[in-house]
A = this chain, B = another copy of it.
Amino acid sequence: MGVRIGVIGTGAIGKEHINRITNQLSGGEIVAVTDVNQEAARQVVNDYSLHADIYPDEASLINAEQVDAVLVTSWGPAHESSVLKAIKAKKYVFCEKPLATTADGCMRIVNEEMDLGKRFVQVGFMRRYDSGYIQLKEAIDNRVIGEPLMIHCAHRNVETEDHYTTDMAITDTLIHEIDVLHWLINDDYQSVQVFYPKKTRNALSHLKDPQIVMLETKGGIIITAEIFVNCQYGYDIQCQVVGEEGIVKLPEVANINVRKQGNSSTAILMDWKHRFVDAYDKELQDFLDSIHQKGEVSGPTAWDGYIAAVTADACVKAQQTGQQEPVRLQEKPVFYQG
C-alpha cells in the first residue's frame, strides 16, 4: 500500500504534483483534496479520476485518519499554518517554496519539528534532484576542482507577467539559486549585495531587470548571480564553479544539433516547466520512498527553508539599500547537521 496523500491547494503546481503521483510515480496515492475554492478541488478530482475525498478545509484534511502525508501547494502566505498543523498531527509534509513567508515563520516550523524529534518536512527545492547539479556536487565533494572559490551563475526567463515585481526576482527566481548553491558548496551565506545594470527595454517600468546579486559565504566564496527575467531568448540556467584546481560547469540541455542555413544550432527551452521536469519527478519519488523506507523524509529540510527565507530577506533589503547586507542566520541545530 502506498503513501496516502492529502493535497492542500489545487492550483497549477498542485495539479502537476497530483498528476505526477497518480500517473507517473510509484508508491503514492491522492486520497484527499482541499482548496479554498471547493469547486476547483472537485474539478481536479474529476479531471484526474482520483479516488479522493474533498475536505472543507486544511484542518479536516490534515486530521483525516486516511491521510499519511500532506502536499502543501496553496499560495505562499498559507504555507506556514498548513505545515505547522500537519506536523503537529504527525503527518509528513511536502511543502512548495516558500516554507513560510517570514524567517520567524520558518523557525516556528523548525522548532516544532525538532520537538517532534524526526524529519517530517521536505521543502520543494527540486534543483537538488537535477542530474547536472548532482554531478556538480559530486565533483566538488570529491575535490575534483579543489576548494571552490567563486561561482558565476545566471537565471534567465523569457518574460514575466505584469504583476512580477523587482523583489520577486529574489523571492520567486533567485530563491532556487539561494537554496541549491549553499548545498552545493557546503557553506553558509554571510552577506549579499545587489547591482542594477542597464535596464532592458523589454521589462515593464516598475521592474528592475536584469539584476546582479553578489553573495559572499562565511568561507569567503563569492557568487555572482545574474537574474534576467525578460531575456527573450529562452529559459536558461547557467552555473559555473571555479575552484583552486579547475572548473565545473552545469551542462546544457541535451537537444539535437541542427545544421541549416549557415548555422549549427541547438534549441533552448522556452518554457521553464521543461527544464527541471525530471527533478520534480525525482523529488516527489524521493519523498514517497523515504517515508516508505525510513519513516522519515529526506531532501531539503525546514532548516533549508529557513536559510532561504533569511537570505531572501537580506537580498530584498540589499535591493533597497544598495549596500552590502549581512545574512544573519542562527546557529545550525545539531538536529539538521549531517
- Residue of B21, B222, B264 near A268 (CB, 8 A) is B264
**Is A232's CB under 8 angstroms from B248's CB?**
no
State whether B200 touches A244 (Cβ < 8 A): yes
Residue A245 interfacial (CB < 8 Å): yes
Q: Which of B135, B144, B149, B260 contacts A145 (CB 8 A)?
A: B260
A161, B24: Cα distance in complex, Å: 36
By the criterion CB–CB under 8 Å, are A257 and B251 in contact?
yes
Q: Is the CB of A252 within 8 A of B267?
A: no
Question: A234 at the A/B interface (Cβ < 8 Å)?
Answer: yes
List chain B residues, Cβ under 8 A from A258.
139, 144-145, 246-249
Q: Which one of A68-76, A172-180, A212-220 contacts B?
A: A212-220
CB-CB < 8 A to A214: which residues of B? 195
Interface size class of A (residues with CB under 8 A): 35 or more
Residues of B within 8 A of A199 (CB): 149, 220
B contact residues around A254 at 8 Å (CB): 131-132, 251-254
Which 10 residue pairs across A and B have the least CB separation, nearest first?
A: A246-B260, A198-B220, A197-B222, A254-B254, A251-B254, A265-B265, A247-B259, A249-B257, A135-B256, A263-B265
24 A-B residue pairs with Cβ-Cβ distance under 8 Å, sorted by A, are A23-B27, A24-B26, A25-B26, A135-B255, A147-B201, A150-B226, A152-B224, A195-B214, A198-B219, A201-B244, A232-B245, A232-B261, A233-B262, A234-B262, A246-B258, A246-B259, A248-B258, A249-B257, A249-B259, A254-B254, A259-B268, A263-B266, A264-B267, A264-B268
